[in-house]
C-alpha cells in the first residue's frame, strides 16, 4: 500500500505529540512504517524529522533496492538519524502459509540481513530485541516461542 501525504490536521497532531509527548507522565505514541516503500523516504522521513520525532521503519530486506522501495543507503541513513530499523521479513510472505523452517528464514534471516547491512558501518546495534512486525499483521499461527527467542513483537 502506498502512503499518501497526511492532512494538515494529522501533521498538527504529530507536532503536538512531538512537543508535549516528551513531558514526564505523558503517554507516548509510536510511529511505524511497514514495507520500506520509497515514500517512507520522500514523505514520512521528512515529516517525522521536521517534527523532531523518531519512528520505526519495518524493512522487508528482499525489497531493498527494488523499484518503489528504499535503498540500502537510505536505510543506513535512517539509522544514522536515530530511527529504529525493524524486521518485517525477507520476502513479505504470509507466515501462516509457509512451513516452520521457512518462518526461520523469513524472520531470523531478515534480522541477519539488517545486522550485516548496518554492522560494517560501525553503528551500535541493539543486541536483543529487534522488533518484528508480521507481514499482513497479526501472528497468523507463527509460534510465539520462536519469536520470543529473537524479537519483541511490535
Q: Cα–Cα distance between 84 and 17 in angstroms, integer? A: 18
Task: Provide the pLDDT for residue 136.
Answer: 78
The answer as to whether 2 is a domain residue is no
Task: Provide the pLDDT for residue 46.
Answer: 93
Q: What is the CATH number of the domain that holds 109?
A: 3.20.20.370
Q: Cα–Cα distance between 106 and 142 in angstroms, integer? A: 11
Alpha-carbon dihedral sign for residues 78, 81, 86, 87: positive
Q: Cα–Cα distance between 42 and 26 in angstroms, integer? A: 30
The label of the residue with cell 530486506 reads 61
The answer as to whether 58 is a domain residue is yes
The answer as to whether 9 is a domain residue is no
Residue 35 contacts by C-beta under 8 Å, 6 or more apart in sequence? Answer: 1, 58, 60, 63, 69, 88, 92
Tell me how far the alpha carbon of residue 119 is from its chain's centroid.
17
The answer as to whether 87 is a domain residue is yes
The answer as to whether 7 is a domain residue is no
The answer as to whether 47 is a domain residue is yes
The answer as to whether 6 is a domain residue is no
What tens-digit pLDDT sequence spans the chain (154 residues)? 445 554 444 444 444 444 444 445 556 678 899 999 999 999 999 999 999 999 999 999 999 999 999 999 999 999 889 898 988 899 998 888 888 888 888 888 888 898 888 877 555 655 444 677 878 776 655 554 444 445 544 4
For residue 135, is it left (φ>0), alpha (ψ between -120 and 50) or beta? Answer: beta
The number of folded domains in the chain is 1
Helix, strand, coil percent values for the chain (each to nearest 5): 45, 10, 45
The answer as to whether 128 is a domain residue is yes
**Considering the entire predicted model, what is its pTM?**
0.73
The label of the residue with cell 519495518 reads 58
Which domain range does residue 65 map to? 30-153
Specify whether the CB–CB gap between 69 and 40 falls below 8 A. Answer: no
Task: Provide the pLDDT for residue 6.
Answer: 46
Amino acid at each position: 500500500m502506498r502512503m499518501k501525504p497526511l492532512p494538515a490536521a494529522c501533521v498538527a497532531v504529530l507536532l503536538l505529540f512531538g512537543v508535549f509527548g516528551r513531558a514526564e507522565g505523558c503517554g507516548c505514541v509510536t510511529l511505524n512504517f511497514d514495507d520500506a516503500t520509497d515514500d517512507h523516504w520522500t514523505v514520512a522521513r521528512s515529516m517525522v524529522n521536521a517534527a523532531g520525532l523518531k519512528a520505526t521503519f519495518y524493512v522487508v530486506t528482499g525489497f531493498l533496492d527494488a523499484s518503489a522501495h528504499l535503498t540500502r543507503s537510505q536505510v543506513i541513513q535512517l539509522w544514522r538519524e536515530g530511527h529504529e530499523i525493524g524486521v518485517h521479513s525477507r520476502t513479505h510472505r504470509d507466515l501462516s502459509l509457509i512451513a516452520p523452517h521457512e518462518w526461520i528464514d523469513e524472520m531470523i534471516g531478515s534480522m541477519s540481513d539488517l545486522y550485516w547491512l548496518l554492522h560494517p558501518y560501525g553503528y551500535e546495534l541493539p543486541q536483543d530485541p529487534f522488533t518484528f512486525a508480521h507481514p499482513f499483521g497479526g501472528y497468523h499461527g507463527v509460534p510465539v516461542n520462536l519469536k520470543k527467542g529473537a524479537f519483541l513483537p511490535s
